[in-house]
């Protein structure tokens, strides 16, 4: 029996996994959700013996039921290969009483690679399965990491083009350099004058522009999304939680079925939702600890039951979490509303209209699995320095936010369960903030001097992704206003 996907806003028919991947977002503006969460059908003893790729197959086959075994294994093999700098793909590093799950060993040294190295293959396979002849145009808004990871994933993939919008002054210098040096004839990168939410809102508007869709279809194009709302992004992210638990078990760090806590530095709520799905598949996860930076809309939500985006947008040193509308939260809202699309649609309409909504007490009770807190800039900086000085392990700013929140959680609850902290970016991606946190003497260094200093003090090799951009020429220099995005897209496509 195929697992089917429905919209969180409900009106449309259920679609297959490959159709949901192709569409990205449902026509009614909702997100696709599986009509049930499948249960892991392999034992822990079996999982403990599996490679990352084998684990990926066991998890993904349960969600992408209309893919053949051959199709899925081929996608997995193309994604998790030598683009990663370690054969185990997602290693665990023990430091100061927690396990850091390093999700940054892929092509662009951030966790987005975990899903975006496989999405292009899932997407082109889905197109073939559904007899789509149009060229697929990936349209993405990025707060920094998604953009580069999507560009790297889709560059020169046949039958696709990719257009990335990023906030011109809202990403790190290295993130920007990574994007504007992207090779590939099918890649386009544009900085907009606005913040990430402006970019994301603009992209959503283009996706729902029926007139534009018709013009594009006439010329043989159709949009698809690589943003974290695509279930082709979400499902591959479940894999590493299963893999991490199996590794802990295999190495005797947890007993069979012993519950662990998971801490996730959160922005769009995709990564932590994947952990929630893993828990619902039967993985022994206890608390899902949601870590925010100063844009602490989720912390407030878990505390009060009110989601309110009407607040100042703060630029922090963890820019990939500078988000006021966490799109993937809608999947959780839908679920705690009892899979009631009407109720969810009403709340989302309130969010679009007044910028806020309040969930019922009944719904709030169902959030007991979650704990939310946040880290200030000072706490984040302090944590990077402290962890380095204590054990010599250097973490990036996003991971540091999670680490601070984990400490707060432990102090508040006394819960000492084995804990996995999702480490979402390499410190080499945010070198300036990381090195400044460790010692102010690095202030005067250039970006690449900092890279070499970091290599020395952390005793780690400079990642290939950084070596590559040292000398790469800038090939994308487009900048536009936020209301010019449609014109820019039409220009690129020649329509
Ligand atoms: C995208 C990103 C996050 C946030 O992940 P979500 O799935 O959007 O919650 C955290 N850290 C880094 C480094 C990221 O790139």
- In short, whether 270's Cβ falls inside 6 Å of ligand 1 is yes
**Looking at ligand 1, which atom is closest to the CA of residue 270?**
7
Q: What is the pLDDT of residues 14-53, one digit of tens each?
A: 999 999 999 888 889 899 999 999 999 999 999 999 999 9
User: Residue 441 and residue 28: Cα distance in Å, rounded?
Assistant: 53
Q: Rounded CA gap, 53 and 75, in Å?
A: 10
The alpha carbon of 70 and the centre of ligand 1 are apart by a number of angstroms equal to: 31
Q: Where are the alpha helices (DSSP H) in 27-98?
A: 44-47, 52-63, 69-79
Catalytic residue selected from 83, 112, 279, 296: 112
C-alpha of residue 69 to centroid of ligand 1, in Å: 30
The pLDDT value given to residue 360:
97
- Strand order of the sheet with strand 98-102? 92-95, 98-102, 419-423, 260-265, 285-292, 370-374
What's residue 51's pLDDT? 98
pLDDT in tens, 116-137: 999 999 999 999 999 999 999 9
Q: State if residue 268 touches ligand 1 by the CB under 6 angstroms criterion.
A: yes
pLDDT at 456: 97
**pLDDT > 90? residue 468:** no
d(CA 380, CA 93): 19
Residue 285: predicted pLDDT:
98
**Residue 91 in this model has a pLDDT that exceeds 90:** yes
| Nearest Cα to Cα of residue 24 among 204, 301, 224 | 224
Centre of ligand 1 from the C-alpha of residue 380, in Å:
16
The confidence band for 12, taking pLDDT boundaries of 50, 70 and 90, is confident
* pLDDT at position 196: 87
User: In testing the pocket of ligand 1, which one of 31, 111, 141, 170 has its CB within 8 Å of the most ligand atoms?
Assistant: 111
Does 320 sit in the ligand 1 pocket, CB within 6 Å?
A: yes
- By most ligand atoms within 8 Å of CB, the mutation choice from 320, 323, 426 for ligand 1 is 320
Give the chain's length.
Answer: 495
Q: Which of 102, 110, 164 to mutate to test the pocket of ligand 1 (most atoms within 8 A of CB)?
A: 110
Q: Look at ligand 1, atom 8, and give the residue with the nearest C-alpha.
A: 268
Q: Which conformational region is residue 97 in: left (phi greater than 0), alpha (psi within -120 to 50 degrees), or beta?
A: left
Give yes or no for residue 224 having a pLDDT over 90.
no
Identify the pLDDT of residue 197.
86
CA of 26 to the centre of ligand 1 (A): 23
Q: Give 117: exposed, middle or buried? Use CB within 10 Å, 0-12, 13-18, 19+.
A: buried
Cα(144) to centroid(ligand 1), Å: 9
**β-pair partners for 7:** 32
Which residue of 100, 164, 265 sits with most ligand 1 atoms within 8 Å of its CB, as the best mutation to test the pocket? 265
In tens, the pLDDT along 298-354 reads 999 999 999 999 999 999 999 889 999 999 999 999 999 999 999 999 999 999 999
Exposed/middle/buried for residue 470 (C-beta within 10 Å: 0-12, 13-18, 19+): exposed
Ligand 1 atom closest to 267 (CA) = 9
Closest ligand 1 atom to 323 CA: 8
What is the pLDDT at residue 143?
78
Among protein residues, the one with the nearest Cα to ligand 1's atom 2 is 320
Is the CB of residue 322 below 6 angstroms from any atom belonging to ligand 1?
no
State residue 50's pLDDT score. 98
Q: Which atom of ligand 1 is nearest to the CA of 112?
A: 15
Strand partners, 264: 290
**Could you tell me if the CB of 237 is within 6 A of ligand 1?**
no
Active site residue 83: no
Model confidence at 475, pLDDT cuts 50, 70, 90, reads very high
Q: Is the pLDDT of residue 92 over 90?
A: yes
Whole-angstrom CA distances from 459 to 91, 393, 394, 462 are 17, 9, 10, 10
Q: Does residue 207 carry a pLDDT above 90?
A: no
266 lines ligand 1 (CB under 6 A): yes
User: What spacing in Å lies between the alpha carbon of 120 and ligand 1's midpoint?
Assistant: 19
Residue from 85, 154, 66 nearest 116 by CA: 154
Residue percentage of the chain with pLDDT more than 90: 87
Mean pLDDT of the chain: 95
Nearest CA, atom 1, ligand 1: 320
Q: Is 112 in the pocket of ligand 1 (CB under 6 A)?
A: yes
Could you tell me the CA-to-CA distances from 309 to 31, 36, 51, 234, 358 in Å, in that order? 20, 30, 41, 24, 12
Cα 250 to middle of ligand 1, angstroms: 28
Per-domain residue ranges of the chain: 92-109+232-460
CA of 236 to the centre of ligand 1 (A): 14
Separation of CA 80 and ligand 1 centre (Å): 20
What pLDDT, on a 0 to 100 scale, did the predictor assign at position 24?
86
Q: Any idea what DSSP says for residue 172? A: -
The closest-lying atom of ligand 1 relative to the alpha carbon of residue 145 is 15
Domain 92-109+232-460 is found in CATH 3.40.50.1100: yes
Which uninterrupted H or E stretch holds 113?
helix 112-116
The β-bridge partners of 262 are 288, 420
Question: Residue holding tokens 């004839």?
Answer: 185
């Amino acid at each position: 029996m195929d697992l089917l996907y429905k919209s969180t806003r409900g009106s449309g028919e259920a679609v297959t996994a490959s159709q949901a991947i192709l569409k990205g977002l449902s026509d009614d503006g909702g997100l696709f959700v599986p009509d049930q969460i499948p249960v892991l059908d392999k034992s822990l003893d079996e999982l403990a013996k599996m490679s990352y790729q084998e684990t990926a197959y066991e998890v993904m086959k349960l969600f992408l039921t209309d893919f053949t075994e051959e199709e899925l294994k081929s996608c997995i093999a193309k994604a998790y290969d030598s683009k990663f700098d370690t054969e185990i793909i997602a290693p665990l590093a023990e430091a100061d009483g927690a396990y850091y799950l390093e999700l940054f060993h892929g092509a662009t040294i951030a966790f987005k690679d975990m899903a975006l190295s496989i999405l292009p293959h899932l997407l082109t396979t889905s197109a073939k399965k559904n007899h789509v002849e149009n060229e697929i145009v990936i349209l993405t808004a990025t707060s920094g990491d998604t953009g580069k990871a999507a560009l790297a994933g889709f560059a020169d993939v046949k039958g696709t083009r990719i257009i990335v919008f990023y906030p011109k002054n809202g990403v790190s210098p290295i993130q920007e350099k990574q994007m504007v040096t992207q090779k590939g004839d099918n890649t386009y990168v544009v900085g907009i004058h606005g913040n990430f939410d402006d970019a994301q809102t603009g992209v959503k508007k283009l996706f729902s522009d029926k007139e534009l869709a018709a013009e594009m279809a006439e010329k043989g194009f159709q949009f698809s999304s690589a943003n974290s709302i695509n279930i082709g992004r979400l499902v591959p992210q479940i894999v590493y939680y299963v893999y991490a638990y199996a590794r802990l078990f295999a190495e005797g760090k947890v007993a069979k079925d012993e519950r662990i806590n998971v801490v996730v530095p959160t922005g769009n709520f995709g990564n932590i939702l994947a952990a929630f799905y893993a828990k619902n598949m039967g993985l022994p996860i206890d608390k899902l600890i949601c870590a925010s930076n100063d844009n602490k809309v989720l912390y407030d939500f878990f505390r009060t039951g009110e989601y309110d985006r009407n607040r100042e947008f703060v630029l922090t040193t963890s820019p990939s979490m500078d988000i006021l509308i966490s799109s993937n939260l809608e999947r959780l809202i839908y679920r705690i509303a009892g899979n009631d699309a009407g109720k969810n649609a009403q709340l989302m309409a309130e969010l679009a209209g007044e910028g806020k909504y309040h969930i019922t007490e009944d719904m709030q009770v169902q959030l007991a699995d979650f704990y939310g807190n946040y880290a200030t800039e000072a706490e984040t900086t302090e944590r990077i320095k402290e962890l380095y000085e204590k054990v010599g392990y250097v973490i990036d700013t996003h991971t540091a936010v999670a680490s601070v929140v984990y400490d707060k959680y432990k102090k508040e609850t006394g819960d000492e369960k084995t804990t996995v902290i999702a480490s979402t970016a390499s410190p080499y991606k945010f070198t300036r903030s990381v090195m400044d946190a460790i010692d102010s003497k690095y202030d005067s260094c250039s970006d690449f001097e900092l890279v070499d200093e970091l290599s020395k003090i952390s005793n780690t090799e400079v990642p290939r992704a950084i070596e590559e951009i040292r000398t790469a020429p800038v090939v994308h220099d487009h900048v536009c206003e936020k209301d010019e995005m449609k014109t820019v897209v039409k220009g690129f496509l020649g329509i």
